[in-house]
Amino acid sequence: MHNTLTDLARCLWGDEYGPTPACEQSWQHKEFYFTERLTFAGPDEILDMLRTLCPHLVDGHLPVWARNLAYRLLLLQRPDDPALMREAANSLYCHGPDWDDIAEDLTRRADALEAG
């Protein structure tokens, strides 16, 4: 069984930095199951997944849509974390330009929080 969000993501998309674990839970190998797990995951579990599978922000096999959703859910849970806002903005810039305006807004919000 996939004990963590990271394990589930590894089974679905692989891991650039380590082997994909052997898995007998093929019924869980659906993107909708990952999305459900991500939706209800806490911020520490989401951050662990992102930092384990994408330690350099632009790497890893995690799809861009999953990264964007993960950062969105993180920011909903930690709305006053300027460092996290900047990390999310940098991820958007790397995978844009469709989301550059959102990244700019996140950067402005982070600046305001740090100034204020």
Structural domain boundaries of the chain?
A: 5-115
Model pLDDT for residues 75-101, shown as the tens digit of each residue = 999 999 999 999 999 999 998 789 999
CB 81 within 8 A of CB 87: no
71 closest CA partner among 97, 8, 95, 30: 95
CA 34/CA 83 separation, integer angstroms = 26
Model pLDDT for residues 29-78, shown as the tens digit of each residue = 788 889 999 999 999 999 999 999 999 988 999 999 999 999 999 999 99
| pTM attached to this predicted model | 0.91
- Residue 28, pLDDT score: 63
Task: Assess whether pLDDT exceeds 60 at residue 1.
Answer: no
Mean pLDDT of the chain: 91
